[in-house]
Structure 1
Amino acid sequence: MKSTSLFAIFLLCAFTSYLPSATAQDVLDVDGDPIRNGFIYYVLPAIRGNGGGIERAALGKDTCPITVVQSPNPNSKGLEIKFESAYPAYYINETLILQIKFSYPQQCERKNPWWAISKDISEGPPAIKLSGFHGTELGWFKIQKASKSCDSNDYKLVFCQYDETWCLDVGIYVDRQGNRRLVLAVTGEPFLVHFHKISSSTA
């Protein structure tokens, strides 16, 4: 109960401290439509060929599939992903702070399986994992355009500490087993993505 109350207080502080900019650009899906707050999408690579959509896997010390990875199958759409902000905006723009989760939880997951980062760097750069498990730390995500070109719908995910002391792009790290983990891109390039409506074609 105490942790729930603290989380609610934190969301209230975030709501009043990180209001989205009225001039920020909306994030667009591949059809050119704004991404809607609280809706679900497939997230696919902007550059096809090395893998497919985003899914989860049990890697390393995981006892449950809690590591966020890119599917090794370039034809896979991955899992449905929900983007949600505590701020009651109808559309998601590039300054809006978000939480992200897979649309459907697994039995081994906690009740609030938002994406977080792992503080364990023994297996590589800090990985994106599901929260509620040992060694994970929550924060905010943002979606930002990867190019200033108006013709491009290429975006990158950005992870920030709660107080936004620092923010880092989300990239791909290929481990020794060939798994394509989503990680904080400390030195590498960001993972460029497109957003597809669940009902739209991903071809």
Structure 2
Amino acid sequence: MKILLLSCFLYFTLFQIIKSEPVLDTSNEQVRPGYTYYILPASAGNGGGLTLAKGENGSCPLDVFQARNSQSVGIPLKFLMVNSSAGLVIDENEDINIKFAARRYVSICNVSTVWKIEDGIVTTGGIKGGSENGTSTSLFTIQKYEDAYALQYCPRATGCSFICPRLLCGYIGILPAENGSRHLAVNRPVFKIVFRKA
């Protein structure tokens, strides 16, 4: 128990020392919680923004897909702070929840549009700041990746909060299907993205 507490303390101390940079949008402005943004591929001609649709079996909840049409910006999203003492901007490597800012989609499956990971797929029905089945299934981070950004899924053990180590982070990428759909999934090749204010 003492080793676990010491580990958590050391991680928290290092976390405080290493100051993360704020995430920037395509206008070079800081990304802010509660504002709406489109998540777009970093390179043109590589599909469109992010959208929602029923999965392969046609059931709820709605899963997160990349639009096939490069002209589509998708559905706007919001980034929600998990740590109430965090600042007024979203920093790299900070725990966040991601949610589609589209109320009409809530009524389709009668679940929230907060992202979560289920069976390796990015889907909806997540709990803001919450956890299911012993793991925080809705915790994501934004990482600087080369000349753009990438999303990571970074769960923590229940009850450990932001001061204890993450269990294991995995990059979010594209899982293509035979029908041409482009699911978002964890532990895939990195999907390089940018953020455009909606």
* TM-score between the two structures when normalised by the length of structure 1: 0.75
Aligned positions of 1:1-203 closer than 5 A = 23-64=19-60, 66-87=62-83, 88-105=86-103, 106=105, 107-119=107-119, 126-131=120-125, 138-147=137-146, 152=147, 154-163=148-157, 164-185=166-187, 188-198=188-198
Q: 1:40 is matched by which residue type in structure 2? A: T
CA contact (8 A) 1:38 1:84 kept: yes
Q: 2:34 is matched by which residue type in structure 1? A: G
C-alpha displacement at 1:55, in angstroms? 0.3
CA contact (8 A) 2:122 2:186 kept: yes
Q: 1:116 is matched by which residue type in structure 2? A: K
Q: 1:21 to 1:99 in 2, by over 3 A?
A: farther
Gaps of 5+ in 1: 1-16, 120-125, 199-203
Per-residue CA deviations over 1:32-90 (Å, capped at 9, x if unaligned) read 11100121101110012131000011121232461100001100000001111122420
SS in 2 for 1:49: coil
More helix per residue: 2
Q: 1:21 to 1:63 in 2, by over 3 A?
A: farther
Q: 1:138 to 1:103 in 2, by over 3 A?
A: same
Q: Hey, what does 1:5 align to over in structure 2?
A: none
SS in 2 for 1:108: helix
C-alpha displacement at 1:190, in angstroms? 0.6
Structure 1 CA distance, aligned partners of 2:43 and 2:17? Answer: 29
CA contact (8 A) 2:111 2:124 kept: no
C-alpha displacement at 1:111, in angstroms? 4.9
C-alpha displacement at 1:176, in angstroms? 1.2
Gaps of 5+ in 2: 1-11, 127-132, 158-165
CA contact (8 A) 1:43 1:195 kept: yes
Q: 1:110 to 1:89 in 2, by over 3 A?
A: farther
Q: 2:142 is matched by which residue type in structure 1? A: I
Per-residue CA deviations over 1:113-143 (Å, capped at 9, x if unaligned) read 3101122xxxxxx1100026xx9x7231000
CA contact (8 A) 2:114 2:138 kept: no
CA contact (8 A) 1:20 1:96 kept: no
C-alpha displacement at 1:99, in angstroms? 0.2
Structure 2 CA distance, aligned partners of 1:21 and 1:109? Answer: 43
C-alpha displacement at 1:28, in angstroms? 0.4
CA contact (8 A) 1:128 1:184 kept: yes
